[in-house]
Amino acid sequence: MPGREEALAALGRAALHAVDVVRDVWALLRDIAFWLFIAPWKRQRAGVRWESVIEQGVRIGWDAIPIVVLINFFVGMISALQSASLLKRFGQLLLVANAVALSTTRELGPLLTAVIVAGRSGSAFTAEIGSMKMAEEVDALSTMGLNPTRFLIVPRVLAMSIAVPLLTLAADFMGIFGGWLIAVTVVDLGSWQYLRHTADAIDMGDVMRGLTKSCVFGGIIATVGCYLGVHVEGGAEGVGRSTTNSVVVSIFLVIFANLIFTAFFYMIE
Amino acid sequence: MNETAAGRQSTSAESAPAREPVIEVRNLETYFGDRHILKDVSFDVLRGEIFVILGGSGSGKSTLLRHIIGLLRPSGGSIKIFGHETVDIGEEEWEKLRRRMGVLYQGGALFNSMSVGDNVALPLREFTDLPEATIGIQVRLKLGLVDLAGFERLRPDQLSGGMKKRAGLARAIAMDPQVLFFDEPSAGLDPIAGAGLDELILRLRATFGMTIVVVTHEMESVKKIADRVLMLFKGEAVAVGRLDEVMKNPHLRVQQFFHRQADEEKVDPRQYLDYLTAGGRREL
Ligand SMILES: Nc1ncnc2c1ncn2[C@@H]1O[C@H](COP(=O)(O)OP(=O)(O)OP(=O)(O)O)[C@@H](O)[C@H]1O
Ligand SMILES: [Mg+2]
């Protein structure tokens, strides 16, 4: 049965490919860890390139503030309306404040921010590094004795792991602000009452967990973006394909990581 | 080609008799999966010479170059550069060796996020403690050498193809390397710009006594610049030696190459279609 044999062969190839990818990702992570934590102390002229970190941080973080703020503001308003329509039936309208505060700091803030950053910056990493690879610029770095991981990848990973939590903090504020605006205008709750309930509902632990998560999300997005950029093949078309993949894969992995985090926090509670 | 054959043909027209090898390649083997790409390649590159690696498309020229400059580890064999074995050394030692080598890539490989001047200054800023003023002088000097004086402030995307290559060359010689590698220097350039680059290669050798390794398939440029050549055919070194000697080599492939009987012309169209639909690489 040729059909079956072909299917088996395809399955075998896919499995081998998966093994290759896992090995390459592992090598990349080790390389990043080396240039981030070991080389700066062990070698001369091998420190983290902070100018690049700042430059990337501005692009990933500062430039994304408007869109992150706006989206989370809207989603905060949506959460308030959704929870109000539900809680009204139980006569617990004031719990809108709790619902918004919890959903924003625990889930929506970190997740939405990560998705926006994956679309804006993760894809840009793939496109930039991919076109640099195509133009032999990555090889040029290597043959000049400048390690491409240290030069291109470490600053991006570092900047993103810092910028995403900071953006998430802004997202949390804006989500709550959106919820508050709906509560006082549409739902007719007292402004002070709402804020007091919010303050009671927010647990610093929740916020910290949200920020920890988003730091990991940032690391995932940056690693995926850089990995796919470094492994681009097939010219300009290949760069385009990998750029799309970068967004899809990093959003998938972010949500998967979120599931693991949530399950973990649930179990230790 | 074995070691002694490569070693014997060491004297080029104007050189002193016994020049020591800068690069020694022995029994080099490359496999990509089960495809045998380079087959038992051995040769020496001598100090101060212009050594050209010749061969048709897919013969393994770029692969050989990538082995020598340490971007790709060979499957077997030995490569010594400045007397150091390189096939099994760590990344850190490689980085030291690389500072004595310069590479000019096909498209120049300038970093688009930096100005032309910053591109040339990059290795100086990374590897030396020179003050900015001195670096500025060095940058102007190197850009002047490649006839790009005054282009420091421009961005790479504002340069023509030939200018990009020359700027890439200025960056490659920023650290005064002892060996310079060129990958297809005249590819993608009009004949005049290509000839200009050949002049530049000759001038660099004359001025600094650099050892220069060039990968190309442009016969015009080979005739103008080569002291010695290595001729690759399907991964085998079919001839090594002085250009005039190799041109007299009776080997069929060598004669075909020099007389422009390109392999491409003999390809069977049906076979080519199969090759295209199979999504294969340049196997023909
Ligand atoms: N990374 C790789 N994986 C698999 N095969 C490869 C790889 N790189 C090159 N090859 C194959 O090795 C052979 C030699 O390629 P190489 O690029 O060295 O040829 P070349 O002489 O430089 O040709 P050209 O003049 O077209 O640049 C080709 O058949 C190519 O398909
Ligand atoms: Mg090539």
Terminal CA-CA length for chain B = 24
Rounded to two decimals, the pTM is 0.85
Decide if A223 contacts A122 (C-beta within 8 A): no
CA B58–ligand 1 middle distance (angstroms): 5
Could you give the count of Cα atoms lying within 13 Å of A225 in the half-sphere of its Cβ? 31
Residue A236's contacts (CB-CB under 8 Å, 6 or more residues apart) are A131, A134
A213 and A134 in a common domain = yes
Q: Which residue in A43, A45, A139 is closest to B105 by CB distance? A: A139
pLDDT score at B266: 57
Residue type, B89: I
Give the CB-side neighbour count of residue B81, counting CA atoms within 13 A: 25
pLDDT over 70 at A3, yes or no: yes
**Cross-chain residue pair B70–A143, CB shorter than 8 Å:** yes
Q: Are B185 and B212 in contact (CB under 8 A)?
A: no
Report the percentage of chain A scoring pLDDT > 70.
Answer: 99
Predicted local confidence at residue B272, as pLDDT: 62
In this structure, the answer to whether residues A34 and A138 fall within a common structural domain is no
The answer to whether the beta carbons of residues B71 and A139 sit under 8 Å apart is yes
Tokens 């309930």 correspond to A197
Give me the mean pLDDT over the A144-155 stretch: 93
Which range is least confidently modeled, A203-212, A235-244, B122-131, B247-256? B247-256
For A28-39, the pLDDT digits (tens) are 999 999 999 998
The first and second tokens of residue A205, run together, are: 């632990």
Question: Distance between CA atoms of B213 and B228, rounded to whole angstroms?
Answer: 10
Chain centre distance of CA A179:
24
Residue B151's CB: how many other CB atoms inside 10 A?
21
The interface predicted TM-score of the complex, written ipTM, equals 0.81
Average pLDDT over residues A102-128: 95
Neighbours of B272 (CB within 10 A): 12
User: CB under 8 Å, gap of 24 or more: what pairs does B260-265 form?
Assistant: B260/B219, B262/B56, B263/B56, B264/B57
What pLDDT does residue B247 have?
Answer: 80
Residues from chain B contacting residue A145 (CB–CB below 8 Å):
94-96, 98-99, 123, 126-127
Q: How many domains does chain A have?
A: 2
**pLDDT (0 to 100) of residue B258:** 75
pLDDT in tens, chain B (284 residues): 444 444 444 444 444 456 889 999 999 999 998 899 999 999 999 999 999 999 888 889 999 999 999 999 999 999 999 989 998 888 888 888 888 999 999 889 999 989 999 999 999 998 889 999 999 999 999 999 998 998 989 999 999 888 999 999 999 999 999 999 999 888 778 888 888 889 999 999 998 899 999 998 888 888 889 999 999 988 899 889 888 888 887 777 777 777 764 454 555 667 667 666 665 444 44
Instruction: Name the residue of B38, B63, B68 whose CB sits within 8 Å of the most ligand 1 atoms, as the mutation to test its pocket.
Output: B63
Domain interval for residue A126 = 48-268
Task: Specify the amino acid at residue A166.
Answer: L
> CB within 8 A of A247, min separation 6: which ones?
A118, A119, A122, A123
Q: What pLDDT does B137 receive? A: 94
Q: What is the mean pLDDT of chain A?
A: 92
Cβ neighbours of residue B233 closer than 8 Å, sequence gap 6 or more: B55, B56, B59, B253, B254, B257
Contact residues, chain B, for A140 at CB < 8 Å:
103, 105, 109, 111, 168
Helices (H), chain A: 2-33, 39-42, 50-60, 65-87, 95-103, 109-117, 123-134, 137-143, 148, 154-185, 191-201, 204-230, 235-268
Report helix, strand or coil for B75: coil
User: Rounded CA gap, B166 and B107, in Å?
Assistant: 10
- CA B164 to chain centroid, in Å, comes to 17
Minimum-distance ligand 1 atom for the alpha carbon of B64: 18
Compute the distance between CA of residue B284 and CA of residue B181 in angstroms, rounded to an integer: 28
What are φ and ψ of residue B99, in 5° steps? -70, -15
- Type of residue numbered A178: G
Q: Where are the domains of chain B?
A: 3-100+179-185+209-277
Question: Looking at domain B3-100+179-185+209-277, what is its CATH homologous superfamily?
Answer: P-loop containing nucleotide triphosphate hydrolases (3.40.50.300)
Separation between Cα atoms, residue B208 and residue B147, nearest integer Å: 16
Co-location of A52 and A84 in the same domain: yes
Hey, which residues 121-150 in chain A have their CB within 8 Å of chain B? 132, 135-137, 139-140, 142-147
pLDDT in tens, A187-202: 888 889 899 989 988 8
Q: Looking at residue B93, what is its pLDDT?
A: 86
A44 contact B CB<8A: no
Q: Examine the domain organization and report whether A23 and A149 are in the same domain.
A: no
Integer Cα distance of A202 and A67 in angstroms: 24
Angle between helices B161-172 and B132-145 (to 10 degrees): 130
- Nearest CB partner across the interface for B98, out of A45, A137, A144: A144
Q: Which residues of B touch A137 (CB under 8 A)?
A: 109-112
- Average the pLDDT over A100-115 and give the result: 93
What letter would DSSP give residue A121?
I
pLDDT at residue A143, as a whole number:
92
Q: Does A20 touch chain B (CB under 8 A)?
A: no
Q: Which chain A residue shows the shortest CA-CA distance from B129?
A: A45
DSSP B265: G
The closest ligand to the CA of B57 turns out to be 1
- Per-residue pLDDT of A165-181, as tens digits, reads 999 999 999 999 999 99
Q: What residues of A are in contact with residue B123 (Cβ under 8 Å)?
A: 144-146
Pick from B99, B105, B171: CB nearest A145: B99
List the one residue out of B37, B113, B236 whose CA is nearest residue A132.
Answer: B113
More confident position, A218 or A191: A218
**Domain edge (last residue) among A24, A44, A64:** A44
Instruction: Let me know whether A205 and A172 are in one domain.
Output: yes
* Comparison of pLDDT for A159 and B187, the residue scoring more: A159
CB neighbours (10 Å) of residue B246? 24
pLDDT at B9: 43
Which of B31, B32, B68, B69, when mutated, tests ligand 1's pocket best, judged by the most ligand atoms within 8 Å of its CB? Answer: B32
Tokens 């790009």 correspond to B148
